[in-house]
Structure 1
Amino acid sequence: MSIDPSSSDARPSSLSRFADVLRNDTVGGFLLIAAAVLGIIWINSPFAASYEELRSLTFGPSALHLDLSLEVWAADGLLAIFFFVVGNELKQEFVNGELRNPRRAMLPIVAAVCGMVVPAAIYVAINFGSPETINGWGIPMATDIAFAIAILAVVGRWLPPSLRTFLLTLAIVDDLGAVIVIAVFYTSDINFLSLLAAAAGLAVFWYLQRGRGVAAKLNASPVPNWIVYIPLALVIWFLVHESGVHATIAGVAMGLLMRTRALPGEKQSPSHGVEHVLRPWSAGLALPIFAFFSAGVVIDDFGAIVSDRASLGIIAGLILGKVIGIAGGSWVTTKVTRAELNPSLRWIDIVGMSQLAGIGFTVSLLISELSFADDPVHLAHAKTGVLAASLIATLLATVVLGARSRHYRKLMLALGDQEQGKAS
């Protein structure tokens, strides 16, 4: 599988420049945030009915169980593109980058686990003895990777790249853990036959890139190899969706299976070629549409959530639990194991990133609906709690990471002045 971005030269140069702009994380972050703000404003305006009609608009083949609403297509379909890009980027880090060092790769993985366990424990502690709300313990476990990465890009322009890698790894493990929690505790029916078929499809996807004879034939064929890979990717996505597991996991899995080294005769690896093509679609289309629909939460009476154990547990879990679990768990891990923090980072950077991980949104809202499907009052308060916690986490992270970004900017400018002085 190889895609040569140089083939895009035949397109109008304005489109190429626009795609390059969308590859900038900061631009993508602003687009996502703007779309989310638009969704929140619309759903809480006098025109809320039109917003609900739009996101509940259903289309797709019912025979394949794909007659889904626009909201679900955005969360399960378009977001899979983003997860593919993220999984692919992580694969590059594991093979060629920061995460090649097992001692550093271990740290965000352990941090992710601690960042799930501690928020759930805090929720249980607050809701202990409250049988009508205890089932929501899974809500504060999740981190919304799309929003977290977007905020980091906007406020942390000068932060070390290793912090973004830490967050990516942590969020992927967090999402996989959340999917397992949903499958085991909040889903009554998993189609294991579809899961096995999806695994077989992933094995084919892996082999087509690594079987040298097959890869050579694909590259030498007059038929573009995307004609093979796109239908295969769609089939894998469908099988995962049909299994009852969140369909975005298909994107993560395929991204992690990408080949990151070029074979003889290839200008670049499939991993880098596909990332070059898909990143603008992910940042400019998939994420803004997803954010627009997922952020449409009716803001309930904030006074009511103070007296609701469910919302209090969610807010405490996402705001306090994530920081204690991630930052505290990481620090303890470096003391009791050989795991180490990247030398370019400081613990205050991890604290700020941990606050960023308190943005729950999509998966937290999904678990809220599963937890309180028959309890509209607690469901409304839980969703408001997720929204409030995500907003507070964003503000706290912006303060800490913004200050750290300015600190690193000053260091870089001072280093530049020193180098310039030596040159003169």
Structure 2
Amino acid sequence: MATPTPAPPSPRRPFLGRLPLPERNYLTNALRTETVGGVILLVAAVAALVWANTFGSSYSSVSHFHFGPGVLGLHLSVAHWAADGLLAVFFFVAGVELKRELVAGELRDPKAAALPVVAALCGMAVPALVYTLVTVVGDGSTGGWAVPTATDIAFALAVLAVIGTSLPAALRAFLLTLAVVDDLFAILIIAVFFTENIDFVALIGAFAGLAVFYLLLRFDVRGWYVYVPLALVIWGLMYNSGIHATIAGVAMGLMLRCTRREGEEHSPGERIEHLVRPLSAGLAVPLFALFSAGVSLSGGALAGVFTRPETLGVVLGLVVGKTIGIFGGTWLATRFTRAELNKDLAWADVFAVAALAGIGFTVSLLIGELAFAGDDDMINEIKASVLIGSLIAAVVSGVLLKLRVRRYRALFDAEELDEDASGIPDIYEQDDPEYHLRMAALYEKKAAEHRRLAQVAGAASSKPDSPA
């Protein structure tokens, strides 16, 4: 009896390989907006620090100024409106991003999704473990364990814009996917660990509003004048339920359809995200930063960051925990799956991106406020530690990325090259016969032009000199 021939092993999947063209185009547009928003975020953070440390009384007065309908339970401070209201827009965009990743992006294929999901989970678990170990050894409060678990994609991209590193699309996509998964688990942490008292009447009302929102979407009802008022009602009910109001933004974002039907150039989710993302990146998040990043940076406060176990835990969690967690999780995932690192990149590149993910700003500040609610001094010190930890992570990652900037620029230029002016990068057309015909015609045109110039130059050099 013949021995059955064993099946050939399945080919190894590339990790950080070339993105499909639609994914690359989407990523380019999304990151362009996030990068601009990240620069605005940096400006807002610096403005908050300058304002709080020069005219501290006015900063405090504005931040604590209350307005809003008290009868609806919404008589909130400016800082509160920024954290609970404006950040709902940010989390709405995060919800749409997550939905798109699940149905059309990197998270659609469970095998491909394993890497960023494992990396993101390890990139949250290790910082939390680092914080907990530092506070237990130092006899501090473990209540802020979740503060160093978040990555701020806008701030990270702003750092990339400042240091001028042309990261290849695959590395940028990996960073974005990490941040999306990171946001998902940060949302779950906020919902599960920072909800104390629940008003079930308001919560049922919020769920009823979400059900109406879902039905309107499924029946293709259109018009911002329908959805915006309904979204505000859902947000208000969610806030009054006791669950953090940003959860409403995520839930509505996840309900949008992010797959394209026949004849559609863009899905509804893509269209709405394209409209709302600039509002989130350019207004909502910077305003939140303006009223959350204003911490006192006196010499004593800065020194305290490295002496108090809670603040030291945040710094080490962001700088050390994030880097080790993401890099280690990625390495282990590739080690035990059939993924193989892109031959054009090295593990040093993954390490640099892991260090860049240690920039935890927006969500870290929010969790810090929730974790130490009522203790203003501790909140101020935790915010200072988030800023310092993010700054250290930015410097470390910037140095690491600069060491490979020439390699990145070469890869980036190769991805962007479009010699035949077709509007599609040449690297995506190399298997297209029509591309080779266009390139042959282009090269023939260039050769003919060179021959013509050579003939003109030869004729000019053969003419006798003119008489004096």
TM-score, with length taken from structure 2: 0.73
| C-alpha distance after superposition, 1:55-82 (max 9, x if no partner) | 2221111122211122222222222223
More helix by proportion, 1 or 2? 1
Query: What displacement does 1:200 show?
Result: 3.7
Tell me the secondary structure at the aligned position of residue 167 of structure 1: helix
- Change in Cα spacing, 1:54 to 1:380, as seen in structure 2 (3 Å) is closer
The aligned counterpart of 1:9 is: none
Gaps of 5+ in 1: 1-19, 219-223
Read off the aligned partner of 2:390 and give its amino acid letter.
Answer: S
Indicate which of 95, 103, 113 corresponds to 1:105: 113
- Change in Cα spacing, 1:352 to 1:204, as seen in structure 2 (3 Å) is farther
Q: Are residue 120 (structure 1) and residue 118 (structure 2) matched?
A: no
The aligned counterpart of 1:7 is: none
The aligned counterpart of 1:310 is: 310
What is the alpha-carbon distance in structure 1 between the residues aligned to residue 86 and residue 227 of structure 2? 17
- Change in Cα spacing, 1:310 to 1:202, as seen in structure 2 (3 Å) is same
Q: Are residue 365 (structure 1) and residue 373 (structure 2) matched?
A: no
The aligned counterpart of 1:173 is: 181
Query: What displacement does 1:209 show?
Result: 2.3
Q: Are residue 74 (structure 1) and residue 72 (structure 2) matched?
A: no
The aligned counterpart of 1:40 is: 49
Read off the aligned partner of 1:27 and give its amino acid letter.
Answer: V
Indicate which of 297, 300, 315 corresponds to 1:299: 297
Q: Contact between 2:131 and 2:145, CA under 8 Å: does it hold in 1?
A: yes
Read off the aligned partner of 2:127 and give its amino acid letter.
Answer: P
- Change in Cα spacing, 1:192 to 1:141, as seen in structure 2 (3 Å) is farther
Alignment of 1:288-367 (within 5 A): 288-300=286-298, 301=300, 302-337=302-337, 346-367=346-367
Gaps of 5+ in 2: 1-28, 421-438, 447-468
Q: Are residue 151 (structure 1) and residue 151 (structure 2) matched?
A: no
Q: Contact between 1:359 and 1:394, CA under 8 Å: does it hold in 2?
A: yes
Q: Contact between 1:25 and 1:153, CA under 8 Å: does it hold in 2?
A: no
Q: Are residue 134 (structure 1) and residue 146 (structure 2) matched?
A: no
Tell me the secondary structure at the aligned position of residue 188 of structure 1: coil
The aligned counterpart of 1:85 is: 93
- Change in Cα spacing, 1:192 to 1:318, as seen in structure 2 (3 Å) is farther
The aligned counterpart of 2:407 is: 407
The aligned counterpart of 1:287 is: 285
| C-alpha distance after superposition, 1:222-278 (max 9, x if no partner) | xx6222211222222223222333322222222222112455786643123212322
The aligned counterpart of 2:36 is: 27
Query: What displacement does 1:196 show?
Result: 4.2
Q: Are residue 257 (structure 1) and residue 266 (structure 2) matched?
A: no
CA RMSD of aligned residues (A): 3.3
Q: Contact between 1:87 and 1:252, CA under 8 Å: does it hold in 2?
A: yes
The aligned counterpart of 1:236 is: 234
What is the alpha-carbon distance in structure 2 between the residues aligned to residue 22 and residue 100 of structure 1? 20
- Change in Cα spacing, 1:369 to 1:265, as seen in structure 2 (3 Å) is closer
Structure number with bigger Rg: 2
Query: What displacement does 1:357 show?
Result: 2.3
Q: Contact between 2:103 and 2:259, CA under 8 Å: does it hold in 1?
A: no
Query: What displacement does 1:109 show?
Result: 1.9
% identical aligned pairs: 52
Alignment of 1:167-246 (within 5 A): 167-210=175-218, 214-215=219-220, 218=221, 225-246=223-244
Query: What displacement does 1:317 show?
Result: 0.9
Q: Are residue 389 (structure 1) and residue 389 (structure 2) matched?
A: yes
Q: Which stretch of the first structure deviates more once superposed, 67-76 or 170-179?
A: 170-179
Read off the aligned partner of 1:111 and give its amino acid letter.
Answer: A
Tell me the secondary structure at the aligned position of residue 190 of structure 1: coil
Q: Contact between 1:186 and 1:371, CA under 8 Å: does it hold in 2?
A: yes
Indicate which of 29, 48, 63 corresponds to 1:55: 63
Query: What displacement does 1:308 show?
Result: 1.6
Higher relative contact order (CA 8 A, sep 6+): 1
What is the alpha-carbon distance in structure 2 between the residues aligned to residue 202 and residue 160 of structure 1? 39
Q: How many residues align?
A: 394
Q: Contact between 1:55 and 1:293, CA under 8 Å: does it hold in 2?
A: yes
What is the alpha-carbon distance in structure 2 between the residues aligned to residue 205 and residue 418 of structure 1? 43
TM-score, with length taken from structure 1: 0.80
What is the alpha-carbon distance in structure 2 between the residues aligned to residue 291 and residue 378 of structure 1? 18
What is the alpha-carbon distance in structure 2 between the residues aligned to residue 203 and residue 341 of structure 1? 43
- Change in Cα spacing, 1:234 to 1:369, as seen in structure 2 (3 Å) is closer
The aligned counterpart of 2:274 is: 276
The aligned counterpart of 1:398 is: 398
Query: What displacement does 1:378 show?
Result: 4.6
- Change in Cα spacing, 1:360 to 1:264, as seen in structure 2 (3 Å) is closer
What is the alpha-carbon distance in structure 2 between the residues aligned to residue 199 and residue 312 of structure 1? 40
| C-alpha distance after superposition, 1:360-396 (max 9, x if no partner) | 3343334434444566655443332222111111222
Query: What displacement does 1:107 show?
Result: 1.9
Q: Contact between 1:158 and 1:405, CA under 8 Å: does it hold in 2?
A: yes
Q: Contact between 2:206 and 2:238, CA under 8 Å: does it hold in 1?
A: yes
